[in-house]
Chains A and B, each alone.
Chain A
């Protein structure tokens, strides 16, 4: 299949692995930012193709994982209301709040629906004028334009029964938070390709400069990822710290400027709490004053709710690359996809889910 097979080509992947082995002279620690990349790495076993000492640690780029418990609780509270049709992308439904998840709300009679696009939620609001349709707007810069478009459309249609529960987060502030941590060991980044499709690459340049780390914008297929690793290692070996674009087939330097404009019109930059990590300044998006009427937190009066993270879950350390999933004592025992302690175990982009799904019995397998 075109645009797929060439990026999963076994011979090319092997060749890249050989080149990496040849050119890597010292141990390096790189972080892939996006959970989609983490899953590809674990699923295809790309880390097993790297030379010894070249380590990939997994980053915070899983929107489901970093959504704080209190926001999940707000979602659960809103979704349980009889007048509400609560719309969400599929993988939010299994994420545990303080006591339950959206699937449980659905099982108890809540009208919770999986949609593929926020515009589907706008359509539902038009078709059901007597119901309150709420869309759970989760994600990084990638999903922000479509969510902004949904609100803009709702205003255009004059919809009074549509709102967004916003949990948008931004990648660059999270990368800076990781680099600024005293125990940081990340020496180079594979930046999330699809985030850069929207935002372009320029906002990473000051990070590369200020923290002296190479940042390579990278795609999601095996060939992309190994190319990204190779470009990053080459910079490190040469003592460089620049922004490079491996994913040029999708990412331009400026990004998608109409999408950026739409984001700026509907959203403003706000502080956000990240699950397991805590509040990061200027790290999220909230609705602007002009669109405040579409804010579900205000509409349903859940703005002040507060909840604690489960103490045993170390997803904060996982998301910052400080620990690997198998280092968690609860991994695979008290925490499984059926009975998760944290979101990293259930999300389609969570690192714990990737290790549990693809690696759980690796030791047995290799013995």
Chain B
């Protein structure tokens, strides 16, 4: 990091550079046992119960996109981070950083989406903050949300619980959120509109736990997509994850858009998909609970700690690596 004097966009891209930033700047300053878990939320033991606590900031351009807007993202993203710790999301805060001149109607629409998303996810917005910055000093609207959830089950899904032999379940098709955003942002026209997969994930996670399944680890897929989520787990859990590409569902319109832009759907953002890692004995029931879109896409092994491999349709395995930063469209 010493040779990077300025913060680059890639430091926020969810890839290797962001990991470097966290490890070289944030952890040395703030390090403590709760933070060092480096989970989607901090899990805090209050003695008689455990709660999960998390925060996330939302900066998306454009504010509205097919299948959602910054408001739905701000609620669902935080709800999903809580759900990934096995917590039932309960209370959210919302901080609005508004650029001077933002149409009041835009703000109203976003707030309505947030209320709708909160009602759907069963959470309440209980505290908030508003700041207005000079015109040109913000990108219309930034939202930060923090959330608290209550852990009602003894299970505490975390990478440390993953053991060799566990199977990896993916809850649905990937890449729709990233492509939906990109299609609007770059004015790309496709034959059929691609809608974001933005959705709250607390209900399916609660269902898995309520059925008594042994969920060793959960991870919602966000920036950096499936590949980044898998790499983070493999590193944190100290296992090798072997994935079968043919089991990973990608819709044709997403594949088509990715082919055109030279992007790999395995790295494209999602906002309503997660992976669950569990013992093979629980796999049939897990697939049953999650419904027909869920697939077993691979397994954990004791090969090389932190390595993710991808077996393609030709039967050849390769490394599925963490990217440096965001994917960049190619020249030709």
Which residues from chain A sit less than 8 Å from chain B, CB to CB? 1, 4, 8, 10, 13-14, 36, 42-46, 48-49, 63-64, 89-94, 103-104, 106-108, 114, 116, 138-140, 142-143, 194, 222, 337-339, 348-349, 356-362, 364-365
Contacts and interface: CB of A to CB of B under 8 A. Distances in A.
A194 B315 CA distance: 28
A365 B303 contact: yes
A36 B332 contact: yes
Nearest to A107: B6
Contacts of B255: 1, 4
A114 B314 contact: no
Given A64-B331, A92-B331, 18 more contacts: A1-B255, A10-B315, A36-B330, A90-B328, A107-B6, A107-B7, A116-B329, A139-B331, A143-B331, A194-B332, A337-B323, A338-B17, A349-B331, A356-B321, A358-B318, A360-B319, A360-B321, A365-B307
B10 A103 contact: yes
B304 interface: yes
20 contacts: A1-B255, A1-B256, A43-B318, A45-B312, A49-B314, A63-B331, A63-B332, A89-B330, A89-B331, A91-B328, A91-B329, A91-B331, A103-B9, A107-B6, A142-B332, A194-B332, A337-B323, A337-B324, A358-B318, A364-B303
A109 to B, nearest CB: 10
Given A107-B6, A107-B9, A364-B303, A89 B329 contact: yes
Interface in B274-329: 303-304, 307, 309, 312-319, 321, 323-324, 328-329
Nearest to B316: A45
B252 interface: yes
Given A1-B256, A36-B332, A143-B332, A8 B313 contact: yes
Contact of B314 (A89, A93, A222): A222
A44 B314 contact: yes
Contacts of A63: 331-332
B8 interface: yes
Nearest to B16: A338
Given A4-B255, A10-B313, A364 B332 contact: no
A141 to B, nearest CB: 10
A142 to B, nearest CB: 5
B287 to A, nearest CB: 25
Nearest to B11: A107
Interface residue tally of chain B, by bracket?
35 or more
Q: Which 6 A-B pairs have the closest CB atoms?
A: A45-B316, A90-B328, A107-B6, A348-B330, A358-B318, A89-B331
B262 interface: yes
B324 A338 contact: yes
A92 B329 CA distance: 10
Given A104-B8, A107-B9, A365-B307, A44 B316 contact: yes
B286 to A, nearest CB: 28
B316 to A, nearest CB: 3
B259 interface: yes
Nearest to B313: A10
B3 interface: yes
Contacts of A360: 319, 321
Given A1-B256, A114-B329, A365-B303, A348 B262 contact: yes
Nearest to A337: B324
B314 A139 contact: no
A4 B330 contact: no
A63 B20 CA distance: 29
Contact of A364 (B188, B307, B313, B323): B307
B191 interface: no
Nearest to B262: A348
Contacts of B329: 89-91, 114, 116
Contacts of A43: 312, 318
Interface string B1-29: 00100111110000011001000000000
Contacts of A140: 332
A140 B10 CA distance: 28
Nearest to A34: B332
B8 A45 contact: no
Contact of B317 (A10, A13, A93, A365): A365
Contacts of A89: 329-331
Contact of B316 (A49, A94, A357): A49
A156 B188 CA distance: 25
A361 B328 contact: no
Contacts of B314: 10, 13-14, 44-46, 49, 222
Q: Which of A106, A107, A194, A349 has the most CB of B within 10 A?
A: A107
Contacts of A349: 330-331
A365 to B, nearest CB: 6
A364 B308 CA distance: 12
A14 B267 CA distance: 28
Contacts of A116: 186, 188, 261, 329
Q: Which of B186, B329, B330 has the most CB of A within 10 A?
A: B330
A170 to B, nearest CB: 14
A1 B8 contact: no
Given A138-B331, A365-B304, A365-B309, A107 B321 contact: no
A103 B326 CA distance: 12
A92 B256 CA distance: 24
A365 B332 contact: no
Contacts of A93: 328
B164 to A, nearest CB: 16
A365 B8 CA distance: 32
Contact of A114 (B7, B20, B309, B328): B328
A43 B9 CA distance: 27
Interface string B162-204: 0000000000000000000000001010000000000000000
A213 to B, nearest CB: 25
Contacts of A45: 312, 314, 316-318
Nearest to A366: B317
Contacts of A91: 328-331
Contacts of B8: 103-104, 106-107
A358 B321 contact: yes
Contacts of A103: 8-10
